[in-house]
Amino acid sequence: MTALLEMKERLKQIYSKTEVFIVPVVKFLLAFIVLNTLNDKLGYMKQLDDMTIVLIAALACSFLPVGVLVLLAAAFSVMHMYALSLEVALVGLCMYLIMYLLFFRFSPKDSLVVVFTPLLCALKIPYVIPIAVGLLCAPSSAVSVGCGVAVYYLLQLIIDSAPNIRTMGDEEALAKIRMLVESFLANRAMLVIIASFAITVVVVYLLRRLSVNYSWTIAMIAGVMVNVVILLIGDLLYDINLSVGSVLLSSLLAIAVAKVIEFFRFCVDYSRTERVQFEDDEYYYYVKAVPKMTVPVSTRTVKRINSQRTRETAAQAPGSRQGSRNVTTERVSSAHNGSRTAARPQSRGGERRSMTIGNASNMSDQYDENENYEEWP
């Protein structure tokens, strides 16, 4: 565990020093993956399905807020819909406006949630989202998760309906709109998943806020169980063709991701929990203090000092002699015991005296002087 904590501290130090470079690179990669996924899934407008345009757009997103990526992804998808049909673009634009109003009203700071939810749904690992959001965000973020799920199912509906839309003529514009709207609202799988994810987010948030020991672990396990139970009940009631094996595997992956999040965000030592009670003129206070698990990062310092002192010659100062002094000091911060060795000449008989002193800091000092000294005690 100590090695993991040291790795965590080193990663934090690296991030603090290189944040100005890491954040733009991560935003660039995220934008590149999202826009490429849209082009692969839709791809109706060939002009957008160009690597140069994707790279330019991703580069712009790397220096702009994450909300710009949400707007740019929505613009890409609407233009692909327009290349398929004008009616499809109108339906998509109206859906996006409704979701934007809900998102802007309840959770305007959850742009990453709106981006990651449809992306992970496309990658077939969507059950990581409600657990992670419940651990890191507020209950209002359930709206952002629901909007992300709705975006994924809207795009999936357009992909599945594209062959029928192409066969329908321009005179059947109302039929296209009615078909898309009715199919979207009647999608029971989408409604079940939105409800399941929203309830899971709230349950995880409430449990991880408790003052009991291991609240985050309890919250993630309870959230996974609630999510699986709601999905299975929805599958039994509405026959949404849910893959039980996929749900279980994705739930296990969600627990693994949640444990990583807990390690970096909420790593505490419950064995050193303290309970404090105090009062003022109006209240009594009962406080439970749980210390965080931290370790100092080991450092290695090596210092070498070499000094040469030349004295006056015997002709200028009778009775004096030339001497030199060399001091070498090496300090190594470590957890192991070390030794200290000092060698200096004695004043009588020209003999030298050596002494080795053990210490706990692995420090090695050497002294060598051609001068007269008193006896060491």
CB atoms inside a 10 Å sphere around CB 246:
13
Structure-block tokens of residue 366: 């050497």
Q: Cα–Cα distance between 235 and 271 in angstroms, integer?
A: 43
Between 23-27, 45-49, 166-170, the lowest mean confidence (pLDDT) is in: 166-170
Q: Cα–Cα distance between 377 and 374 in angstroms, integer?
A: 9
pLDDT in tens, 322-341: 444 444 444 444 333 433 43
pLDDT in tens, 48-72: 888 899 999 999 999 898 889 999 9
Are the C-beta atoms of residues 34 and 76 closer than 8 Å to each other?
no
Are the C-beta atoms of residues 93 and 124 closer than 8 Å to each other?
no
Mean predicted confidence (pLDDT) in 115-137: 91
pLDDT in tens, 104-120: 777 778 888 989 999 99
Q: Does pLDDT of 158 surpass 60? A: yes
Sole residue written with tokens 């898309």: 180
% of the chain residues with pLDDT over 90: 34
| pLDDT of res. 307 | 52
Q: Does pLDDT of 32 surpass 90? A: yes
| Alpha carbons within 13 A on the beta-carbon side of 344 | 18
| pLDDT of res. 221 | 94
**Phi, psi of 268, deg, nearest 5:** -125, 165
Structure-block tokens of residue 149: 């799920």
